[in-house]
Amino acid sequence: MKIRSNAKKLIECDNTFVSPSYTRSYPLVVDRAQGLWIHDVDDNIFLDFTAGIGVNSTGHCHPKIVKAIQIQAAKLIHMSGTDFYYKPQIELAKKLATIYPGKYNKVYFGNSGAEAIESAFKLARYYTKRKLNIAFFGAFHGRTMGALSLTGSKYIQKKNFNPLVPGVTHIPYANCYRCPYNLKYPKCDIQCAHYIEEVFKTTVPAEEVAAIFVEPIQGEGGYIIPPIEFHKILYKIAKKYGILYIADEVQCGMGRTGKMFAMEHFGLIADITSLAKGIASGLPLGAIIAPSEIMNWEPGSHASTFGGNPLSCQASLATIELLENGLIKNAEKQGKYLVKGLIELQSEFECIGDVRGKGLMVAIELVKDRENKERHVALRDAIVDEAFRKGLLLLGCGENSIRFSPSLTVNKNEIDTCLNILREVIKDLLK
């Protein structure tokens, strides 16, 4: 890696003028990117297995995405879909409503995942006329006040911001590697799902609960994949009490898991689904999808000036076309190849306690020993930092896991490069 003089100057400027609330894992200052390859301001080259935190689903600067943005930018950049009509927003709403399972769907547009969750939060309260909600430990739904109230990830995200929106109760998520009940699947009878009935018996009146907010596959919490029965049981309980089942697919949706929507793996259709990240290949866009019966709020109830911006909508339409024309299948195929390679690494290194993934939403969990599963946070952080120095961009998730979320365009050679660097890094750190 070259001397990072340009990066150093820019980071010093950033430290002077940019909010210190951001969480930068390592001193990467990006200049340009194409596909999975990033060039920094000192002409160092990196293989990106973060996809801008799961956003660049079609890779950096895919030519079809760039072309769609350029054509739209020459016609109309902004007109606000909250007060006016324009074709890109209408076409995208129709496309999302059509590809989403179920019938008679409607779409609301915002700018981000947090906005999508806020919108679902408000719609659930509007539709049910109820005030309470259920969310999960380990969940990350965003940092705006409503989304933050649902979040159960890290204490620092809530420190000094209380009181938040009241009436949110958190319960355990289905993490079979670290079962909160110390049981073994499938003999556990999915106690983590049935536990919600105990909550209804003791502290939370079910008839006052508007919604259960849940990630089909938990993202920031560690890329946790629940057993298929988990969502089925929870969904059945929700229907029993007239509670909405809201799927946060901000990170796991839009093809990342090898299906367009992650909830498809569980054979369910959520009442409301929140989308963002990979929906528009890097342009700001969030959305919620719900049946017309549920999305029945009156004009003026909720809106967003920039939501459904023409540029973002055209980028999303081009993104969906690429997903449908091969990238979702590639995510499934390459995800299996990546998991296979990581399992081989697991056989070499005792510190890799667990390998898990669906499509290209893959993680390894670092432990001090496999028997006791003691979390190895320091090693996780060291691997991420050292991988950066060797030209591989990774990010952590959960307390001690590393996520692998490359663009859905990734190929076997790029996965092999990632695995080779990772093997070299772990060997060096364990010497």
Question: What structural domains and CATH numbers belong to the chain?
Answer: 5-61+327-429 (3.90.1150.10), 66-322 (3.40.640.10)
Mean pLDDT for 38-65 is 97
On the question of pLDDT at 148 being above 80, the answer is yes
On the question of pLDDT at 8 being above 70, the answer is yes
Adjacent-strand bridge partners of 290: 106
Mean pLDDT for 301-312 is 96
What band does 431 get if pLDDT is binned at 50, 70 and 90? Answer: confident
**Could you give the angle at which helices 63-73 and 310-322 cross, rounded to 10 degrees?**
150
User: So what's the pLDDT on residue 328?
Assistant: 98
Adjacent-strand bridge partners of 364: 355, 402
Give the chain's mean pLDDT: 96
Mean pLDDT for 344-348 is 98
Mean pLDDT for 382-407 is 97
Q: Rounded distance, CA 359 to CA 57, Å? A: 12
Mean pLDDT for 115-130 is 98
Write out pLDDT tens, residues 349-365. Answer: 999 999 999 999 999 99
User: So what's the pLDDT on residue 373?
Assistant: 96
Task: Give the closest residue to 124 by CA, choosing from 269, 282, 242.
Answer: 242
On the question of pLDDT at 2 being above 80, the answer is no
User: So what's the pLDDT on residue 1?
Assistant: 64
Task: Give the closest residue to 389 by CA, choosing from 24, 46, 39.
Answer: 46
On the question of pLDDT at 4 being above 90, the answer is no
User: So what's the pLDDT on residue 103?
Assistant: 81
Mean pLDDT for 4-27 is 93
User: So what's the pLDDT on residue 102?
Assistant: 84
Q: Rounded distance, CA 287 to CA 114, Å? A: 10
DSSP string, 5-45: HHHHHHHHHHHHHS-TT---SS---EEEEEBTEEEETTS-E
On the question of pLDDT at 3 being above 90, the answer is no
Q: Rounded distance, CA 93 to CA 95, Å? A: 5
